[in-house]
Amino acid sequence: MFGIFDIYFLQAVIDGVLLGGVFALLALGLNLIFGVIDVVWICYGELLMAGMYGMYYCYTVYHLPFLVAALVSIAAVGGLGVLLHLLVIAPLLGTAPLNQLLATGGVLFLLQSAATVLFGIDFRNLGIRLPILDVAGMYLSYARLIAFLVALAGMAALYLFLSKSYIGAAIRAIAQDRQIMPLMGVDTRRIYIVTSAIGGGLAGLGAMILVLQYDVQPFVGLTFAPITFLVCVLGGLGNMIGGSVAAVLFAEIISIAGLYLDLEWGYVFAFGIFVVLMFFRPQGLLARRRS
Amino acid sequence: MNRIFPWLMGAVLVALPFVYHQPYPLHLMVLVLIWSFAYTSWSVMGRFGLVSFGHGGFMGIGAYVSALLWNHFHLTPWLGIPLGMAAAAAVALVIGYPSFRFRITGHYFALLTLALSVIVLQLVTATREFTGGSLGYTPERYNHGDSIYALQFPGRDTWYLIALAVWAAGLLIRWRVDRSMLRYALEAIAEDEDAAAAAGVHVTAEKLKVTVLSAAMTALAGALYGQYQMFISPDTVSGVAVSLQMVFAVVVGGLYVLLGPTVGAALTISLTETLRVWFGTGAIGWDNVVYGTLLVLFIIFLPQGLLGSLMAWFGPARVRGR
């Protein structure tokens, strides 16, 4: 009895880690945008949705090879990010931060309903059936394993880009001081556009991973967006390492509570614990102490 | 003119169901009034920069507490609704006190309250044996749906008058808040918390007052909606989508003017209905395409909302936005 229970528990823990990787990847783009441009894209979940539809159409409808489909949809969502920045965020950069939050909320409605109009409310999936791995009596989803690895690769690539490349250095500099850097000759507008493209592209990458495991429908964004926001906030908005820690923490709570109770209870606990943690670490789990 | 006008409008609104009996427009007006009240409740705190994405949660608490008490314990909504409001107020206190004490503001407050919406939504789904989960929940009919004791009425005109009274009370409460010391305290806090505290404003207490008030009012809106529709589900009275809808309708109408939330509710509901009548079932989604576009345009070009901007252009000089 205990032995069986144990292996289920271990499986839930491993599942949690894998899921945590996915959450961390989802949070990455949002965190980058927040850290650099200081706005929260409330419509981030809808960018994921757009990417998932992109994958569905490229792969299932137009029969492109998987990797080509992935590249096309990542580029498309990156382009969407740039559009979002130019049309919505840029005109509002000087105004109250909440206006930017609310404007991207409008985009949320727009994208969600545009998807309803264009694609209908049917649930669609890629039709790829990935095998389930049997490791020492535990059943691990192959899709989740791939997702986890892609998430790790995505994070590593972003880290390398930010730390090694010239424009990456400029992005980090802007994130540190938005006032001074323009005076030092950094073109803020260009950096913001590049950042928005990367943030959107990361949403596209996240979408590629999600679409392996979940069906697409116009409201799918609302399923993933709240978790993504809370992961970012708990990690400290703009703090990517904190975000990854928070992602794994969240995923473990959801996964382990889902083992003993329903999945919904997992979410109730995860969000409840989030609220409590916020009171103790309002600046995020790994926040540097600021005056 | 300015003194008589509200009374005149009030008299017209009260007299309306006695001369006009078309069920469908009356139904829409009841919905507009109930949602206007909910949006007004949100704006009571929202206008001071306390942007909450948790009001869908408060609305759900009000609706579900009174419906559950009625079905499981046969407790009349006359007691169940105050209990639901008390429950929402208690939750507001539990969430609000630490947030305000530990200075969680702006984005962080918005996203923290978003978690509240998610928690209520998932809780309703998780306890589906009692709440019906995502399939929704219906308060039991009593005496063929015609009973003051059970707060169930067959006629739309009765509901219209109830909703009108509650809506007017909501406006009165917001008006009173606008004329109280609380308003000055909260405006000072919205400008600069530290300076307000230094000037002797008890930041945490003032914010809590308005949050608890707003949460209790929103719970009443949820309960009324449930009693009127005789059906509640997580999609219609709680959750993230409802919270967002609440915030955005107020922004479209105008956050800083008394009737802004009402204009927002009337605008959004009539937009949905008009498009539905025009396009039939083909309209699914189009209302939100228009709505989302309007929202973005409003925030960029008319940040004071429709009514707020109109009043700033044509109104007396003392009406000013921010």
SS (H, E, C) chain B: CCCHHHHHHHHHHHHHHHHCCCHHHHHHHHHHHHHHHHHHHHHHHHCCCCCCCCHHHHHHHHHHHHHHHHHHHCCCHHHHHHHHHHHHHHHHHHHHHHHHHCCCCHHHHHHHHHHHHHHHHHHHHHCHHHHCHHHCECCCCCHHHCECCCCECCCHHHHHHHHHHHHHHHHHHHHHHHCCHHHHHHHHHHHCHHHHHHCCCCHHHHHHHHHHHHHHHHHHHHHHHHHHHCCECHHHHCCHHHHHHHHHHHHHHCCCCCCHHHHHHHHHHHHHHHHHHHHHHHHCCHHHHHHHHHHHHHHHHCCCHHHHHHHHHHCCCCCCCC
Q: Tens of pLDDT along B213-259?
A: 999 999 999 999 998 988 888 888 877 788 888 888 888 888 888 88
- Rounded CA separation B91/B158 (Å): 31
Residues of chain B with Cβ-Cβ distance to A86 below 8 Å are none
Cβ-proximal residues to A193 (8 Å cutoff; 6+ apart), any chain: A82, A85, A86
ipTM of the complex: 0.76
> Helices B106-126 and B77-101 sit at what angle, rounded to 10 degrees?
140
Residues of chain B with Cβ-Cβ distance to A95 below 8 Å are 303
Nearest CA in chain B to A38: B107
**Which pLDDT value is given to residue A290?**
45
Query: Residue B319 — left, alpha, or beta (φ > 0 → left; ψ -120 to 50 → alpha)?
Result: beta
Average the pLDDT over A60-85 and give the result: 88
The letter for the amino acid at A3 is: G
Show the tokens assigned to A239.
């703090």
Average the pLDDT over B118-147 and give the result: 81
- Which of A110, A122, A230 is the best mutation test for B, with the most CBs of B within 10 A? A110
Average the pLDDT over A158-177 and give the result: 84
Q: Which residue has the higher pLDDT, A182 or A197?
A: A197
CA distance A279 to chain B (A): 6
Q: Which of residues 124-183 of A touch B (CB under 8 A)?
A: none
Contact B227, B139 (CB under 8 A): yes
- Which of A46, A49, A53, A98 is the best mutation test for B, with the most CBs of B within 10 A? A98
Q: Tens of pLDDT along B69-102?
A: 988 888 888 998 999 999 999 999 988 988 888 8
User: Does A268 sit within 8 Å of B119, measured CB to CB?
Assistant: yes
**Which pLDDT value is given to residue A291?**
34
Q: Tens of pLDDT along B146-188?
A: 777 877 888 788 888 889 999 999 999 999 998 888 888 888 8
